[in-house]
């Protein structure tokens, strides 16, 4: 009898496995390949037209956006952990909660276009082509980091990505300069220039608006409004919180920055505006950061835990995309869990590399001051110490 039951269990398991395989094959074939979604209407300033409110998402795009956003989220949570273990030191500004902004923007432009941002830059370094391993190793100051361990959290660069910039608002005029280069070289490219609500009151931003409008530069100014500049709410810092209207003579859009599809459509609209020679456009993405301003800010002295929890439960960008895909039969729960497992493994492997890779030697300290010059001597901390710089 025991043998019979064992055989039966074995046969049943094989049968179930066979059924599961058939089911899996059938389910994959039965997935909806694309679906239409109604998205939130953008508020507009000095525009006759507006981004579409009915958009199409393909299954392939949905899975891609989901994977990228999950990777960004997990990477930031791992950075939080390593910071608390004192393995990452110094400034560290995390992007979790704002993933839909970066992924939506990248989906609306090309990799040949240009992008510059402030110091909350890990996510953009990844979407612009950096690897998780290179980003994590840069955070821990190791030789395999994307800036060879010399830049840290705020100074990461890839092709057509001009960083992380540590000075508040300073990246905005630089971005206009990149846009001027695009126009001067007559390439049909544009520059996305990002800053936060805290930087939005900076004088240099308004000077840049003026130049960009005069010269009709192909630049998309994007204010990532995450509601708090350091520890100050936007209402306490700005006489007008309509950041999308701040360009005055520059047209603007206010967008739901927690919805990847809203951001994507608005970015496509803005990119078409720039490429058609109409000059700059301004976008305000209404978003939210789950962490404090930086790792030295617990983030709960100027807002309540309940507020953070409410945003997480009602407007989380990853959950919103996941719910859309599941409710429209564009993916299965198992498939998304599989992506989660793969992402966690990638992050763990990267963290392992970032904690074991050697730090750069002292001899590398002055290298790369110039990009293409013969070796030169650099004065050390006193006139008698000589260091060498190699391009």
Residue whose tokens read 């909806």: 32
Q: What is the pLDDT of residues 65-118, one digit of tens each?
A: 999 999 999 999 999 999 999 999 999 999 999 999 999 999 999 999 999 999
User: What is residue 380's predicted lDDT score, i.e. its pLDDT?
Assistant: 86
Using DSSP, state whether 105 is helix, strand or coil.
helix
User: What is residue 5's predicted lDDT score, i.e. its pLDDT?
Assistant: 42
Residues 342 and 256: their CA atoms lie apart, in Å, by 29
356 Cβ contact partners less than 8 Å away, ≥ 6 residues apart: none
Residues 249 and 265: their CA atoms lie apart, in Å, by 23
What's this model's pTM, rounded to 2 decimal places?
0.91
What are the chain's domains?
A: 34-360 (3.40.50.970), 363-390 (no CATH)
Burial degree of 226 (CB within 10 A; 0-12, 13-18, 19+): buried
E strands in 106-187: 114-116
Q: What percent of the chain has pLDDT over 90?
A: 88
User: What is residue 9's predicted lDDT score, i.e. its pLDDT?
Assistant: 42
Residues 315 and 323: their CA atoms lie apart, in Å, by 11
Q: 386 or 177, which is more confident?
A: 177
User: What is residue 27's predicted lDDT score, i.e. its pLDDT?
Assistant: 56
């Amino acid at each position: 009898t025991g043998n019979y039951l064992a055989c039966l269990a074995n046969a049943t398991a094989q049968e179930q496995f066979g059924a599961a395989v058939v089911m899996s094959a059938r389910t994959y074939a039965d997935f909806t390949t694309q679906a239409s979604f109604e998205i939130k209407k953008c508020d507009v300033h000095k525009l006759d037209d507006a981004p579409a409110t009915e958009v199409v998402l393909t299954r392939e795009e949905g899975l891609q956006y989901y994977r990228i956003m999950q990777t960004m989220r997990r990477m930031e949570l791992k950075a939080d952990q390593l910071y608390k273990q004192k393995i990452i030191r110094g400034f560290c500004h995390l992007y979790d909660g704002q993933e839909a902004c970066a992924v939506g923007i990248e989906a609306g432009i090309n990799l040949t276009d240009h992008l510059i941002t402030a110091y909350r830059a890990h996510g953009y370094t990844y979407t612009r082509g950096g690897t998780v391993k290179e980003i994590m190793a840069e955070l821990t100051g190791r030789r395999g980091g994307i800036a060879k361990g010399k830049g840290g959290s705020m100074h990461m660069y890839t092709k057509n990505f001009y960083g992380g910039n540590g000075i508040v608002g300073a990246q905005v005029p630089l971005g206009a300069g990149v846009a001027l280069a695009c126009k001067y070289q007559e390439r049909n490219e544009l520059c996305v220039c990002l800053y936060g609500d805290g930087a939005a009151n900076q004088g240099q931003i308004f000077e840049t608006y003026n130049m960009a409008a005069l010269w009709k530069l192909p630049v998309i100014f994007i204010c990532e409004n995450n509601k708090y500049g350091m520890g100050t709410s936007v209402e306490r810092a700005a006489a007008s919180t309509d950041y999308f209207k701040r360009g005055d003579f520059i047209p603007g859009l206010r967008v739901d920055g927690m919805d990847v599809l809203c951001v994507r459509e608005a970015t496509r609209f803005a990119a078409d505006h720039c490429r058609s020679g109409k000059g700059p456009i301004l976008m305000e993405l209404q978003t939210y950061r789950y962490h404090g301003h930086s790792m030295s800010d617990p983030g709960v002295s100027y807002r309540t835990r309940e507020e953070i929890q409410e945003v997480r439960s009602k407007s989380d960008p990853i959950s919103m995309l996941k719910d859309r895909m599941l409710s429209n039969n564009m993916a299965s729960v198992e498939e998304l869990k599989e992506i989660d497992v793969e992402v966690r493994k990638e992050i763990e492997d990267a963290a392992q590399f970032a904690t074991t890779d050697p730090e750069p030697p002292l001899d590398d300290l002055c290298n790369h001051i110039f990009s293409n010059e013969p070796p030169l001597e650099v004065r050390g901390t006193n006139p008698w110490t000589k260091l060498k710089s190699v391009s």
